[in-house]
Amino acid sequence: MDYTPVKEDIATEEFWVNMGPQHPSTHGVLRLELKLSGETVVDSIVHIGYLHRSIEKIAEKRTYTQFIPFTDRLDYLASMNNNLAYVLAAEKLMGIEANDRAKYIRVIMAELGRIASHLFGITTFTQDLGAFATPLFYGMREREKIVELFDDICGQRLTYNYMRIGGVSRDLPNGADDKIKKIISYMRPKIDDLEAMFSKNRIFTARTKGIGVLTAEKAVSYSVTGPNLRASGVKWDLRKDEPYLVYDKFDFNIPTGKNGDAWDRYKVRMDEMRESLRIAEQAVLGLPEGDPTVKAGKIFRPAPGQAYMRSENPRGELGFYIVSDGSPIPYRMKIRSPSFSNIAVLPELINGLKVADAVCVLGSLDVVMGEIDR
């Protein structure tokens, strides 16, 4: 949809609206400058940096283990997955490998974390569409089950700090695997319920179908990853294409979209939650025996060198590039966060749309400011 100015007798004027950093639907402290002609967005500028905490610099002052809690603060809705991505990178740098039980526990945690994150992403998206708080509360109720499980396992509800280099911080407590199975069987009908609430809703489809179309070429050229990329029809998922941990042992599909519009992005997330449940179920059934924990307080001194490891986070590829100079602290760390690339495509999508659709597209991209600004 291209914007064409209409010739009118009344003198009209385009104006800039500042959306954020304090705005109900900018998902944190994103600031958008929108140039509006009436209700239509003519031009837009994305400003980031309001949540910058210099996490990459902090990494240069912490030992490898000490840095794990900081990764919780990147994408704070998927802390478990961030933990995992970081320890995988550190393990690659040090040439360590976790044992099988640790790997299976990591997979379960990562997939449950993905479901929790997608529940939040989808329901805040519908909140942006004006379904005020009701779907959000339903999503939170479901997410609460996962958060409670994580609380049982690692003692935290949001910033888990659970993964360790070479393992996990503690083994699953007694009865945790039954609890996980129970959550999986509880979650299936609830996801169907949530989908029933939107997928057949005329207003919801009218608001999302054909809105903010991201073509496959554009998605690739902006290096958009995760569900946003798959919604554009590109079948790229690191769990399948570059398997890490034990993902190659499990049977699961990669849901993709066709058009790359807001609807597809929503639908891909919905389907991904079901696939995550399948993975988690297979993992918990095949959970091997052993001791997944590692000795606490161990100081790692990796040989000088560098390593880059990426893994599939709920929002896309999260990569850690670590340079070691042989000391117990990293010489340099660079974090490649998925939301940073995903938000970059936003101006391309919203120019020419209505304000309401701009909010819809932003919600459908499901960005988290914590990892954009780092």
| Contact range with another protein by CB under 8 A, out of 1-9, 128-136, 216-224, 255-263 | 128-136
Interface map 2-41 toward another protein (x if CB under 8 A): -------------x-x-----xxx----------x-xx--
Half-sphere exposure of 2 (CA within 13 A, CB side): 1
1 touches another protein (CB under 8 A):
no
Least Cα distance to 138 among 127, 129, 130 occurs for: 127
Q: Which is nearer to another protein, 139 or 227 (CB)?
A: 139
Q: Residue 226: left if φ>0, alpha if ψ -120 to 50, beta else—which one?
A: left
Q: Taking the complex as a whole, how short is the minimal distance between the CB of residue 279 and another protein, in angstroms?
A: 28
Q: Which is nearer to another protein, 233 or 347 (CB)?
A: 347
CA distance 189 to 145: 14
Position among 130, 155, 286, 326 found at the interface with another protein (CB under 8 A): 130
Query: Structure tokens of 102?
Result: 């640790």
Least Cα distance to 101 among 292, 293, 294 occurs for: 292
CA distance 44 to 42: 7
186 touches another protein (CB under 8 A):
no
Express the helix, strand and coil content of the chain in percent, nearest 5 each: 50, 15, 40
137 touches another protein (CB under 8 A):
yes
54 touches another protein (CB under 8 A):
no
Query: Structure tokens of 260?
Result: 């790359």
Q: Which is nearer to another protein, 126 or 282 (CB)?
A: 126
Q: Which is nearer to another protein, 137 or 303 (CB)?
A: 137
Residues 198-237 that bind another protein (CB under 8 A): 201, 203-204, 206-207
17 three-class SS? strand
Q: Taking the complex as a whole, how short is the minimal distance between the CB of residue 17 and another protein, in angstroms?
A: 5
* Residue 133: burial class (beta carbons within 10 Å; 0-12, 13-18, 19+): exposed
126 touches another protein (CB under 8 A):
yes
User: Site size for another protein, by CB under 8 A?
Assistant: 31
Residues 283-342 that bind another protein (CB under 8 A): none
| Contact range with another protein by CB under 8 A, out of 124-132, 237-245, 268-276, 287-295 | 124-132
Q: Which is nearer to another protein, 66 or 201 (CB)?
A: 201
Residues 86-115 that bind another protein (CB under 8 A): none
**DSSP designation for 81:** H
| Contact range with another protein by CB under 8 A, out of 58-66, 81-89, 330-338, 349-357 | 349-357
Q: Are strands 15-19 and 31-37 parallel, antiparallel or unpaired?
A: antiparallel
Sign of CA dihedral 172, 176, 180, 183: negative
Q: At how many degrees (to 10) do helices 262-285 and 176-199 cross?
A: 160
CA distance 23 to 133: 16
Cis bond upstream, residue 135 (ω within 30): no
* Residue 12: burial class (beta carbons within 10 Å; 0-12, 13-18, 19+): exposed
188 touches another protein (CB under 8 A):
no
CA distance 268 to 217: 18
354 touches another protein (CB under 8 A):
yes
Q: Taking the complex as a whole, how short is the minimal distance between the CB of residue 198 and another protein, in angstroms?
A: 8
| Contact range with another protein by CB under 8 A, out of 112-120, 129-137, 166-174, 257-265 | 129-137
| Contact residues: another protein, CB under 8 A | 15, 17, 23-25, 36, 38-39, 126-134, 137-138, 141, 201, 203-204, 206-207, 354-357, 359, 363
